[in-house]
Every structure is written in structure tokens, then in C-alpha cells.
């Protein structure tokens, strides 16, 4: 399986590296693994719904 770093994912999804870190730490990205202190995300991972926006309310 191919992986992306937080920075690569940040550029792809248009959100901050810190926000993606929160997604990973919260278990919201299936297949994300932490190796040697660095999060690696599958290349085919989809961006989770942002629960802070109206679109994310009620999706849980």
C-alpha cells in the first residue's frame, strides 16, 4: 500500500497539517499509521467530514 505524509495530504485536501494530525490522532482516517513519530496515510484515504461546520453536524 502506498502512503502519503501529513504535508502531502494537507496539500491534496486543502487543510492544515495540524488538522490532519487531529484526524489521525482521533482515529478518523482508516488505515493511518504512526511510524517513528510520523503519521502515514493511505494514498486512497478520503477526507473526513469536518464536524465543526454545518455540513458535519448530525453526521455521526
- Boundaries of every domain in the chain: 3-43
Sign of CA dihedral 16, 31, 43, 51: negative
| pLDDT value at residue 23 | 93
**Each residue's pLDDT tens digit, 6-53:** 999 999 999 999 999 999 999 999 999 999 999 999 999 999 887 777
Query: Confidence band (pLDDT; 50, 70, 90) for 57?
Result: low
Query: Confidence band (pLDDT; 50, 70, 90) for 56?
Result: low
| pLDDT value at residue 39 | 95
Complete DSSP assignment for 12-53: HHTS-HHHHHHHHHTT-STT-EEETTEEEEETTPPPPP-TTS
DSSP state, 57? T
Contact yes or no for 18/26 (Cβ under 8 A): no
| pLDDT value at residue 18 | 95
| pLDDT value at residue 51 | 72
Amino acid at each position: 500500500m502506498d502512503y502519503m505524509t501529513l504535508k502531502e495530504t494537507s496539500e491534496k485536501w486543502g487543510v492544515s497539517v495540524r488538522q490532519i494530525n487531529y484526524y489521525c490522532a482521533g482515529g478518523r482516517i482508516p488505515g493511518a499509521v504512526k511510524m517513528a513519530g510520523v503519521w502515514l496515510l493511505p494514498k486512497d484515504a478520503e477526507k473526513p467530514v469536518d464536524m465543526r461546520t454545518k455540513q458535519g453536524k448530525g453526521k455521526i
